[in-house]
Chains A and B, each alone.
Chain A
Amino acid sequence: MNGYELLNVTFQFLESFAFIVLATVGLAVIFGMMGIINLAHGEFILVGAYATTLSAHQGLPLPAAMLVGVVATTIFGIVLERTIIRRLYGRLLDSMVATFGISLVLVQLTRILFGNSIDQVSTPFGAISYGSYSYSLYRVLLAGAAIATLLGLYLLFTRTAFGIRARATIQDEETARSMGVDTDRMYMSTFAIGSALAGLTGALYAPARASPTPEFGSEFLVDAFVAVVVGGPSVLVGTPLAGGFLGLIEAFFTFQWTQFIGTVAMLVAAIVMIRLLPDGFSGLVESVRTSWRESE
């Protein structure tokens, strides 16, 4: 492997990492914090992508269009939470069926409203060239966006009153309520944040993907589910580790063989991981931390 090829693998890793992390965060926040598996997660991403693309077509500059995408998805998430999801708290399996129904409706409504595809927004920034190779700068920067998103989540959940209350609610809902936390509103806000993150993913990938179609969201689904399982219940710890681990496996096998082998290797690794660590990476980190604390 010469220097250029090493760069190739690095960029491929960054791209896989960004894709897995961004595909997962929204789902992971909603699952990790609320215990709801949102099978319509892909369609939340779809909403973000469509809102971004359509407003870019209206002449908005791309950053503003992306903001529209995030805001639209957030509002959309809040409306769904208030009307449907709210009634399904504590009913994990029912919430899966209901969100699957929502997903069916959204895909087809998108098709009815906007047709089989909408025109794409082109990718900004051009490419980095090295030797005979080149790599899209925007795609490399997506890794930066993924890290920034994780950092933002970290700050949100550790530095703000909201974040502290959210974490307190998960650790001990009863005590949190007795501390004056309105847990119902907590759930709504958490769902809104999960939706905003899905919207962000849609907004970021709208220009990095070919023209959005109603099936746009389904591309993200498999990676998102795999990463949630591998990451385990703690979003802040699990998602980056899962993204890093799966991204490395995918990039290495893809580089060594083909993209297909990379994908299969990633899925197989995920299944083995679950067998070895039923609570995912965050469970592992938790037990390491515990034993470290004990040895003190």
Chain B
Amino acid sequence: MLDLTDVHVSYGTTPILHDIDITVDPGEIIGIMGKNGVGKTTLIKAVMGLLEVDAGTITFDGDDVTSTGAAVRARRGMGYIPQGRDVFPELTVEENLRMGETIHAADDRLQYEAVYDFFPILEERQSQTAGTLSGGQQQLLAIGRALIGNPKLLVLDEPSEGVQPSIVQDITRDLQRVNEELETTIIFVEQNLHVVQHLAERCYAIDKGTIVDELGSDRLESREAVTEYLAV
């Protein structure tokens, strides 16, 4: 589904990422964990095409998308859920969802009912402007918005950020349901222990701008193995 080979990225003159190799198979839920400031967001933006890579290749669904822009990647089936509260704050919930229609304009587009079925709160708040939602609701909206276009791959940047712990558990469950019921592949970056342990089937650990470890489901169950890459 998604392959990153030997990817290097810098921000201005500052090198951020180097020698990144990641493979995601269809239907998988892949986590990328790391502490603050190790380059997680940079990595996810490079996956989405919002940052250009200096070197290396990115293939998606069999096509080389290294030099394709974000808009094209989105229409090919990448659904992006940005960090924090990056919904369009001035648009209503419904308008935000309609933005999702541009993603992966396939015939089997998800109906709004289905999204509302997943996230009933969004139907309740349909005509409210997104900026007035709580952090957790905004996160649900961002996920719902991506799902409207029925993407092949969901790309999430720290879904737990700015969200209360109890809601984080709900979001984790919702994402698992999405993966099971819609067969959507998921890749996310995270530093929240709960999300990493409960959502990821397989997980890469990132530190100082490069992949330092890869953890299978067995090691993910070990709290010590995971906290090594997350804790303070």
Q: Which of A165, A167, A171, A174 contacts B102 (CB 8 A)?
A: A165
Among A164, A168, A178, which residue has its beta carbon within 8 angstroms of that of B74?
Answer: A178
Q: In the complex, what's the smallest C-beta–C-beta distance from B74 to chain A, in angstroms? A: 3
Please, how many angstroms separate the alpha-carbon atoms of A182 and B72 in the complex?
8
Contact B71 A182 (CB under 8 A): yes
- Residue pair A176, B48 in contact (C-beta under 8 Å): no
Inter-subunit contact B102/A180 (CB<8 Å): yes
User: B34 contacts the other chain (Cβ, under 8 Å)?
Assistant: no
Interface size class of B (residues with CB under 8 A): 20 to 34
> Does A93 sit at the interface, judged by CB under 8 A?
no
**With A167-B88, A167-B90, A168-B91 given, is the CB distance from A179 to B50 under 8 Å?**
no
Cβ contact within 8 Å between B71 and A180: yes
Do residues B132 and A293 form an inter-chain contact, with CB atoms below 8 A?
yes
A residues within 8 A CB of B86? 172, 175
CB distance from A295 to the nearest CB of B (A): 13
**A183 CB-CB contact with B under 8 Å:** yes
Give the CA-CA distance A164 to B100 in the complex, in Å. Answer: 11
Q: Is B154 an interface residue (CB 8 A)?
A: no
The reply to whether B70 and A178 form a contact with Cβ atoms under 8 Å apart is: yes
B214 contacts A by Cβ under 8 Å? no
For the complex, is B52 an interface residue (Cβ under 8 Å from A)?
no
- Contact assessment for B91 and A179 in the assembled complex, using a CB-CB cutoff below 8 Å: no
In B70-84, which residues have CB < 8 Å from any A CB?
Answer: 70-75, 78, 80, 82
Closest to B48 in A: A178
Cβ contact within 8 Å between B70 and A177: yes
Residue of B nearest to A168 (CB): B88
* A179:B102 contact, CB within 8 angstroms: yes
Q: Considering the complex, which residues of chain A in the window 178-202 have a beta carbon less than 8 Å from any beta carbon of chain B?
A: 178-183
A161 cross-chain contacts in B, Cβ below 8 A: 98, 101-102
What string of 1s and 0s marks CB contacts (under 8 Å) between B32-73 and chain A?
000000000000000011100000000000000000011111
Contact indicator A179/B90 (Cβ below 8 Å): no
Task: State whether A180 and B75 are in contact (beta carbons under 8 Å apart), knowing that A167-B88, A167-B90, A175-B88 are contacts in the complex.
Answer: yes
Q: Check if B99 is an interface residue, CB within 8 A of chain A.
A: yes
> CB within 8 Å of A: which residues of B?
48-50, 69-75, 78, 80, 82, 86, 88-91, 95, 98-105, 132, 145, 149
In the A-B complex, the 7 residue pairs with the smallest Cβ-Cβ separation, listed nearest first, are: A180-B74, A180-B102, A178-B80, A177-B70, A180-B75, A178-B70, A180-B103
Interface residues of A (CB under 8 A from B): 158, 161, 164-165, 167-168, 171-172, 174-183, 293
